[in-house]
A and B are shown apart, each in its own frame.
Chain A
Amino acid sequence: MLEKLGLRIRILLFFALLAVGAIISVAVASWLVLSRADGGGDLLAPMVQAGILAGFLILFLVTGIWYLFDMNVARAIDGLANAIRTRAHADVQDDLGRDRDRARYLGDLAPAAAEIARSLAQTRSALAESVARETSRLSGEKARLEKLLADVPVAVLLCTADYQLAFYNGQAVTILEAGDAPGLDRNLLDYLREGPVRHAYERLAKLNDPEAASDLICATTSSGRLLSGRMRVLRRTEHTQRPGFVLTLRDVTADLAAHAAREALLAEVFDRVRRPAANLQTVIGVISEDSEMAQAADLTAAMLSEVQGLTTAITELGQRYDAGRNDWRPLTQIRSPDLMDGVRAQFESLGLDLQTDGPELMLTCDGFELALLLRWLGHRLAQAGHARSFRLVLSEEDGPGAVLDLVWQGPSLPVGVFDSWLTEPLDPDTPDLTARAVLNAHATEAWTETRGDNGGAVRLPIPNARRATTRPAPIQREVVYDFELLSKARNAGVLESKLEDLTYVVFDTETTGLTPSSDEIVQIAAVRVVNGRRVKREVFDTLVDPARAIPPSSTAVHGITDDMVKGAPSMTEAGKRFHDFARGAVLVAHNAPFDMEFLRRHEKSMGVRFDHPVLDTVLLSAVVYGQLEQHSLDALTARLGITIPEEARHTAIGDTVATADAFLKLMPMLKSRGLLTFGDVLGEVRRHGRLLKDLN
């Protein structure tokens, strides 16, 4: 119970108890004296007086001592405790001045508390400063990112798993036809037709692979306008939670118009040259076989050979042009149900009925153009009175292709009429984008067929299609950025550059043995360190064919066998690529002279020079921990609390990442020793250069 009372009350009670105890002692002593003395009656009055006096004196003394104790100890302790608590919880910066005076009788307690308070204040202010710096950097980056996202010509939308909008940029407002703005927390499916978006999300969410992306075409709910999009799910934060996703959308109409104009021109060039060349060859061929021309056989042969050269050239160029079309504008893989859904949306917007049927296939095509083509066809057929209700049937072919049939009940369409339609623009806004241009772009044709007594169909083969699998191809396109690079003086000389301003390439090699002059490299791995952080996406990792057998003793260390390096690039090729990767960077390696000697031995055949500034983490470790410590990579990483997974140890990339992490941890330690620039570090390293040969 006493613990609940305050310190001062407890002390007061203590002194009160002392006073009461003392008074009782005096009373008991007086009673004893009176009871044992003879003629006690005479003594009674003086004893009572003496007792009362003693009682008052005791009360006075105890009160006085309590008062002094209360003033100088209890209150001081309370005051100090309050002051410490205040400094712990509120941002008070002074060094306990008033409370320190009051606590002068508490020995070293007040100075000790003052030291704690001071240290706390310093830590706080350093923390606040770094938080402020970081906050300002982050808000700067945020502003730049916002600007970038606002300016990118595609709509970027970030949604939750429930399709609620959490972010969108200006393009999204335009593209979704959302009036003023789509509105955060609104549902994406209010703006886009559900099927393709939901399909893409479900497939990606099931994979749980943040690298996977899915291309889709989807139509807006308001006008059925077709958009081309790509979805990527976000990294899942908790296992129970479904991940959100990023959707980028593009209206490709303008691109199509420009592209179609160029395509049309090139196609015309080939067509107009190919015909007369082909005809000329036939004409001369017939002449050369004529017996009357026998006397001028050499002349006709010359003509024939020239014209054959011309036709071969133009025919071959034309074939290359046809084959190359797909590469110039890569056709994407579209799921057939997405395409069908897009076409259905288009038909609905025209007031036409469309049923779809067929297996789920991945079609290599421009889904946007194909949907436009089918929409136009539906419109044209309805306009010409063939039908208003259609079926779109997809069927697989034996080869790699598939066939789309647009079928209707009603008068069939003569192929001649159909062919004449093909030259019409699909949309008045894109005069060069004709149905013929779309067929050409897909290296295909289309024709009409009669189905039964009163039915027709347009048949459109898709040259490339395959069964849909559940796994969309990963698209490695993570954004790599460091905006700090924008604000740095990048042209400072290396020696004067601050350590954190330099770009480093940390690397490691695995070899056939330990003799740089005769052994060969079998693997090179490297990572880049920019602005004091390892850039996770910028990794160099290649096996190298050493053009000689790898001794089993070396294979036992790094696990690389002769079979593994079969077909790998040669040292010349791999070295050149590594040189490119390391351009403009400081090279860092653990025991760098070993690796550098291997590289420099091949400089001549590579045609490059490895004249980069070099840092060796062995020497940096010696600078930081002194020469008496062990500086092996295992010892260094263990000291720095870096763990190399067992399976990664002695692989080039595993050791490289460990070296890079160790280097990043050594960097602030070097700075705390006053080694701020590369020149400072180099000077200090040279003093330790006795350990190893210095490379700079």
Chain B
Amino acid sequence: MEDRAKKVQILVVEDEDNIAIALDYLLTREGYDQTRLATGAGAVDLIRDTKPDLVLLDVMLPEVSGYEICQTVRADPDCAAVRILMMTARGSAMERRKGLAMGADGFISKPFELKELREEVRKILAGESAQTSDSTDA
């Protein structure tokens, strides 16, 4: 019960400040607990430590790319429950394919409609809770 009452934790890994601020407003307004990381460097460690429910992960990051973070997190069985939604400014079909091959749960192209982002986040989080309840039942 406690887990369910707890606010959903979202980690935004985004190097561009302006969109990060906008996402902060948006996600907070939606009732999520949001943390932001401006570089890819410490992202994997932070994810391992905090195990957020969802990572909004930009592809083009300084130092460590979104793809690399995604691949590393997915290779770690402790982080299996962490959902990853990748964001990119190009968003071709092949980039989406690469993101999903790296283990992302979703892929969204910029510019996105706010409605589109909200739905994608809700969808992925719903998938996570379903998975959690399944494992709890088991």
For window 287-325 of A, CB contacts with B under 8 Å fall at 287, 289-290, 311, 315, 318, 322
Q: Does residue B64 face the partner (Cβ distance < 8 Å to A)?
A: yes
CB distance from B47 to the nearest CB of A (A): 15
B89 touches A286 (CB 8 A): no
For window 15-39 of B, CB contacts with A under 8 Å fall at 16, 18-19, 21-23, 25-26, 29
A274 touches B90 (CB 8 A): yes
Contact with B along A418-453 (1 / 0, CB 8 A): 011000000000000000000000011111111000
Partner of A416, one of B67, B92, B98, B114: B67
CA distance A285 to B18 in the complex (A): 12
Contact with A along B44-75 (1 / 0, CB 8 A): 00000000000000000000110110011001
Contact with A along B70-92 (1 / 0, CB 8 A): 01100100000000000001101
A447 touches B114 (CB 8 A): no
CB-CB under 8 A from A195, the residues of chain B are: none
Q: Does residue B124 face the partner (Cβ distance < 8 Å to A)?
A: no
B25 touches A286 (CB 8 A): yes
Contact with B along A450-485 (1 / 0, CB 8 A): 100000000101010000000000000000000000
Partner of B114, one of A285, A311, A318: A285
In the complex, which residue of chain B has the Cβ closest to the Cβ of A414?
B68
CA distance A450 to B114 in the complex (A): 36
In the complex, which residue of chain A has the Cβ closest to the Cβ of B75?
A450
Q: Does residue A677 face the partner (Cβ distance < 8 Å to B)?
A: no
CB-CB under 8 A from A277, the residues of chain B are: 111
Q: A274-B90, A443-B94, A447-B102 are in contact. Are A286 and B110 (CB under 8 A)?
A: no
CA distance A279 to B72 in the complex (A): 27
Q: Does residue B8 face the partner (Cβ distance < 8 Å to A)?
A: no
A278 touches B101 (CB 8 A): no
Q: A271-B90, A444-B94 are in contact. Are A416 and B64 (CB under 8 A)?
A: yes
Q: Does residue A275 face the partner (Cβ distance < 8 Å to B)?
A: yes
A419 touches B65 (CB 8 A): yes
CB distance from A694 to the nearest CB of B (A): 67
Q: Does residue B95 face the partner (Cβ distance < 8 Å to A)?
A: yes
CB distance from B25 to the nearest CB of A (A): 5
A416 touches B26 (CB 8 A): no
B67 touches A322 (CB 8 A): no
A282 touches B71 (CB 8 A): no
CA distance A414 to B72 in the complex (A): 8
CB distance from B41 to the nearest CB of A (A): 11
B90 touches A445 (CB 8 A): no
B110 touches A278 (CB 8 A): yes
CB-CB under 8 A from B16, the residues of chain A are: 275, 279
Partner of A286, one of B26, B68, B75, B95: B26
Q: A286-B26, A415-B71, A447-B67 are in contact. Are A275 and B101 (CB under 8 A)?
A: no
Q: Does residue B97 face the partner (Cβ distance < 8 Å to A)?
A: yes
CA distance A275 to B101 in the complex (A): 24
B67 touches A274 (CB 8 A): no
Partner of B68, one of A279, A290, A416: A416
B64 touches A279 (CB 8 A): no
Q: A445-B97, A461-B97 are in contact. Are A282 and B89 (CB under 8 A)?
A: no
Contact with B along A253-292 (1 / 0, CB 8 A): 0000000000000000001001101111111011101100
CB-CB under 8 A from A461, the residues of chain B are: 94, 97
CB-CB under 8 A from B23, the residues of chain A are: 282, 286
A443 touches B92 (CB 8 A): yes
CB-CB under 8 A from A419, the residues of chain B are: 65, 67-68
CB-CB under 8 A from A281, the residues of chain B are: 111
Partner of A283, one of B21, B29, B92, B97: B21
CB-CB under 8 A from B97, the residues of chain A are: 445, 461
Range for the number of chain A residues in contact with chain B: 35 or more
A283 touches B18 (CB 8 A): yes
CA distance A1 to B27 in the complex (A): 127
Q: A415-B102, A461-B94 are in contact. Are A282 and B19 (CB under 8 A)?
A: yes
Partner of B101, one of A322, A417, A449: A449
A414 touches B90 (CB 8 A): no
Q: A286-B25, A447-B102 are in contact. Are A414 and B111 (CB under 8 A)?
A: no
CB-CB under 8 A from B112, the residues of chain A are: 278, 282
Partner of B67, one of A275, A285, A415: A415
CB-CB under 8 A from B98, the residues of chain A are: 445-447
CA distance A449 to B100 in the complex (A): 12
CB-CB under 8 A from B95, the residues of chain A are: 445
A463 touches B92 (CB 8 A): no
B111 touches A289 (CB 8 A): no
In the complex, which residue of chain B has the Cβ closest to the Cβ of A275?
B89
CB-CB under 8 A from B89, the residues of chain A are: 271, 274-275, 278
CB-CB under 8 A from B111, the residues of chain A are: 277-278, 281-282, 311, 315
Partner of A279, one of B19, B65, B92, B102: B19
Residue of A287, A290, A414, A459 ringed by the most chain B CB atoms within 10 A: A414
Partner of A322, one of B21, B26, B65, B92: B92
CB distance from A570 to the nearest CB of B (A): 40
CA distance A280 to B21 in the complex (A): 11
CB distance from B116 to the nearest CB of A (A): 11
CB-CB under 8 A from A286, the residues of chain B are: 22-23, 25-26, 114
CA distance A450 to B101 in the complex (A): 11
Contact with B along A374-418 (1 / 0, CB 8 A): 000000000000000000000000000000000000000011110
Q: A286-B26, A445-B92, A447-B101 are in contact. List 18 more A-B contacts (CB 8 A).
A: A278-B19, A278-B89, A279-B22, A280-B18, A282-B19, A282-B110, A283-B18, A285-B22, A286-B25, A287-B22, A289-B114, A315-B111, A415-B67, A445-B98, A446-B98, A447-B67, A459-B101, A461-B94
> What are 18 A-B contacts defined by CB distance under 8 Å?
A271-B89, A274-B90, A278-B112, A279-B16, A279-B22, A280-B18, A283-B21, A286-B25, A286-B114, A289-B114, A315-B111, A416-B67, A419-B68, A445-B94, A445-B98, A447-B101, A448-B71, A450-B75
The interface of chain A, by Cβ under 8 A from chain B, is: 271, 274-275, 277-283, 285-287, 289-290, 311, 315, 318, 322, 414-417, 419-420, 443-450, 459, 461, 463
* In the complex, the 10 A-B pairs of residues with the closest C-beta atoms, listed nearest first: A416-B68, A278-B110, A278-B111, A445-B94, A279-B19, A286-B22, A283-B22, A445-B98, A281-B111, A311-B111
